[in-house]
Amino acid sequence: MRAWAVLACLSAGEAVFDTCPEQVPDTPEVLDSRPADGSNKIMVYTYNIGNYDQMSLKYIMPVPPEIDAFFFVERAANNSSGLSRATILDGWLRRGWNVVELAMHPATPYLTSTRFTSKVLKFLPPANLLKGREWVVSFDADIYIRLPQLPAFLSSSTRRSVAPLLMVDWRHWPGNLSLSAFECMEQEMWAMLDGPMQNFVTSSRAKCLEWREMMRQLHAERENSFPVNYYDTSFIIRHLTHPRAAAVSKAFVQILRRLRTIERDQFVVPFYLWKANLSQELQLIDMSELQRELGHCQIPGFHRHEVPLLADSFGVDSALASDVDERAKIDRRLRRTSDQRALGPVEDVAAVL
């Protein structure tokens, strides 16, 4: 059962999270890959690390010229990538994405290398890619949005443009907007620590239980003033030119430090944003806004795995690139985009954690 179905059962509401249609209205055209030079003020990125997911070429979002887009994947074990993998990554390149292959971060005592690397990318993307940006938008690999509509989404609302951070209201999962932030936190923690979604928390269960007790105590001490909000962190927008952007970055570093011991970032984020006095300054986005203005939806047939399954998961016909010359061409394109920047995210993290 999907997460939204379980959480919806816990409330009288109806979950608000659309599955993408079989035919997306803006089917990607074949584009030339254009290396990002940092001149665009809007950057988007997503990542697929280790737990490769079932996706289709038709759900790769085409990138408009006013946006720089990055797709992060783990570096192949050797120089000769499998044919299906190369073909899929070429599909991202052709739709205007910059494909970046990364080395994995070391595992922690509580998180696997792949899981911790995904957390690093979510909260601490390579610093040199952020230079000169105004907006940075990150989302999980199972999310589809219409990127051409993103610039208007960011500029059309004053309440969005003046916020240092835009976060999604978690209450779309149970579909009950009357829930308090603490009730949301309790509901999700119960589902994943005691209820039907315990497979979401494995090696860090003991630490998560300790964290829940700390949050309960803080809630009691603050006379219901904590937490202010509870967030769905699958979609995050950062406003890098805002006066409080540095405070957001600092809070994200603190979140990442805590995530060395806790698998679920949604358990942790409300505390550190509250601690940084950002809870009242950020803009809470309703899921219906994202659906209406960006066509936000969840890619169907999406499953998470703990082992690399990229070559088998995408349903790519190997005949698309069966010719040896075509495969070599794909490999050259991938190598070109991956080698253009010395990203070094491991060094970035080592400097701050």
Q: In DSSP terms, which residues pair with 71 in a beta bridge?
A: 46, 99
What is the per-residue pLDDT for 302? 58
What is the per-residue pLDDT for 85? 76
Q: DSSP character for 27?
A: P
Query: Mean pLDDT, 10 residues at a time, over the chain (353 residues)?
Result: 47 64 58 67 92 63 95 67 70 92 94 95 96 97 94 88 96 95 97 94 96 97 91 98 98 98 98 97 96 93 39 30 45 49 47 61
What is the per-residue pLDDT for 1? 36
What is the per-residue pLDDT for 320? 32
What is the per-residue pLDDT for 136? 98
What is the per-residue pLDDT for 120? 97
pTM of the entire predicted model? 0.82
Task: Output the DSSP codes for 61-75.
Answer: PPPPTTEEEEEEEEP
172 token code pair: 């779309």
Q: Burial level of 134, CB count in 10 A (0-12/13-18/19+)?
A: middle
Please give the angle made by the CA atoms of 79, 81 and 85, to the nearest 5 degrees.
155
What is the per-residue pLDDT for 87? 80
Task: Output the DSSP codes for 98-127.
Answer: EEEEEPPPPP-SSS-HHHHHHHHHHHS--G
- What sections of the chain are H helices per DSSP? 3-9, 83-94, 113-123, 150-155, 158-161, 181-193, 205-221, 245-258, 265-275, 287-294, 310-313, 324-339, 345-352
Name the residue with tokens 């942790």: 268
Q: For residues 172 and 16, is the Cβ–Cβ distance under 8 A?
A: yes
